[in-house]
Amino acid sequence: MNKMEMILKVLGKYLSPLPEYSLTESKYLPQILDRIASKDDLKILLQIPNRPGKVAELMNISEKEAATRLNDLYMRGFIWIEENTEGGPKYCFGDIGLFMDGVLFDPRYDRYGDEFFDIWKKYWNEEHVHMYQGDHIFRVLPVEEVIRSTKIITYESVTAMLENASRIAILRCACRVKERRCDNPLETCIAIDGTADYIISRDIGREISYDQAIEVTKKSEELGLVHQTVNSANPDVICNCCSCCCGLLRSVLYHGEEAALVKSRYLAVFDRKKCANCQDMVCVEKCVFGGISQKDGRLSIDPNRCWGCGLCARTCPQHAVTLKEVRKPDHIPNEEGRFHPFVAKKDTLKHV
């Protein structure tokens, strides 16, 4: 079996958001694997999902060698850990989005240069972006200061999520790494709890305090970045996203794939008595979704184009924009976070 045949077989093991979409048909993913996976790496990957003992048996190598090589692939972002028992960690594949994050979070891949990131960029914008058909992985988090008059749920409050976190880590934004369309800070992705353990264990991020994390979120709001988190009652990341680089925002804004991102429970509304229809139109500028426009000298909000981020309300000098609760708490599903199934339990990290 030649290397490209092995690459295609490995790609067949990664999960796609759409059953009818085959990753083996991708134009760009084989190029990525060809650059960062050796033939020996691919031989190991073809045995996944499995534990080190079984891999050793299948490949006729020692269990120690199998464990070492599997751990190496884990530390490089290729595979994850489904569970850890006395028989050792059971390694598995995540979906292709998790593979992308696992690679692009890691500064050690920078040595492959701009051409490598250009391939990822083309993959996302030409292929991956069209996979979103109601997958609803992430949702918008509202700016907290503009919804304090309402009953805030813990998992839509950045402050509460950070206060309750057992551990917090900061890491670079995978989207800005591949897109490189702006000069916003790279270190704006926040991981909490088990995901923070994972990030720190791989040395692809660093631990920060609650106060430092709050500072990151506040600075992000000042820059006009949109807070996003996993669409779950058990979120494990807080992203601060720009519309020019974020894969999910770009999916909505430039490709019309609105299923890529769930709206918050809130909708922006104008107080006509306070709204001065000011010439600066700061609210229009801050709305990355294009939901605010001026017609016949009057500002108005298109509810279909409002994702409830609250950046407009935060910046209105007249305090004429507020966020109104329009969706019930069950709008947010009670399920595990994006990374939780793989890294939530610290015992899965003992082998690292």
- Among 171-180, 261-270, 274-283, the minimum mean pLDDT is found in 274-283
Domain boundary pick from 129, 147, 163 = 129
- Tell me the residue length of the chain: 352
Q: Are residues 225 and 156 in the same domain?
A: yes
| Inter-residue contact 147 to 224 (CB < 8 Å) | no
Q: Are residues 173 and 229 in the same domain?
A: yes
Predicted pLDDT at 346? 45
Mean pLDDT of 237-249: 96
* CA–CA separation, 166 and 169 (whole Å): 10
> Residue 200: inside a domain, yes or no?
yes
Q: How confident is the model at residue 85 (pLDDT cuts 50, 70, 90)?
A: confident
Q: Which of 298, 307, 206 is nearest to 252 (CA)?
A: 307
Q: How confident is the model at residue 336 (pLDDT cuts 50, 70, 90)?
A: low
Find out whether the peptide bond into 89 is cis, omega within 30 degrees of 0. no
Rg (CA), the chain: 22
- Among 66-70, 144-148, 237-241, 288-292, the minimum mean pLDDT is found in 144-148
Q: Are residues 246 and 273 in the same domain?
A: no
> Residue 178: inside a domain, yes or no?
yes
Q: Are residues 145 and 258 in the same domain?
A: yes
Distance of CA 106 to the CA centre of its chain: 14
- Between strands 321-325 and 266-270, the pairing is antiparallel
Q: Are residues 226 and 280 in the same domain?
A: no
* CA–CA separation, 178 and 68 (whole Å): 29
Q: Which of 133, 247, 257, 240 is nearest to 191 (CA)?
A: 240
User: What are the pLDDT digits (tens) for 273-309?
Assistant: 888 888 778 899 999 999 998 877 788 899 999 999 9
Q: How confident is the model at residue 137 (pLDDT cuts 50, 70, 90)?
A: confident
Q: Are residues 315 and 253 in the same domain?
A: no
Q: Are residues 217 and 289 in the same domain?
A: no
> Residue 206: inside a domain, yes or no?
yes
Distance of CA 84 to the CA centre of its chain: 25
Domain, as residue range, for 317: 266-326
CA atoms within 13 A on the CB side of 48: 30
pLDDT at residue 140 tops 60:
yes
> Residue 347: inside a domain, yes or no?
no
Predicted pLDDT at 272? 82
CATH number of residue 120's parent domain: 1.10.10.10
Domain boundary pick from 103, 129, 155 = 129
Domain boundary pick from 67, 98, 129 = 129
Q: Are residues 91 and 190 in the same domain?
A: no
What does the mean pLDDT of the chain come to? Answer: 90
Angle in degrees, CA 56, 92, 134, rounded to 5: 165
> Residue 336: inside a domain, yes or no?
no
Distance of CA 341 to the CA centre of its chain: 15
> Residue 308: inside a domain, yes or no?
yes
* 34 three-state secondary structure: helix
User: What are the pLDDT digits (tens) for 49-81?
Assistant: 999 999 999 999 999 999 999 999 999 999 999
Q: Are residues 72 and 99 in the same domain?
A: yes
Q: Are residues 67 and 44 in the same domain?
A: yes
> Residue 46: inside a domain, yes or no?
yes
Q: Are residues 170 and 251 in the same domain?
A: yes
Q: Are residues 255 and 303 in the same domain?
A: no
Number of domains in the chain: 3
CATH number of residue 280's parent domain: 3.30.70.20
> Residue 237: inside a domain, yes or no?
yes
Q: How confident is the model at residue 133 (pLDDT cuts 50, 70, 90)?
A: low
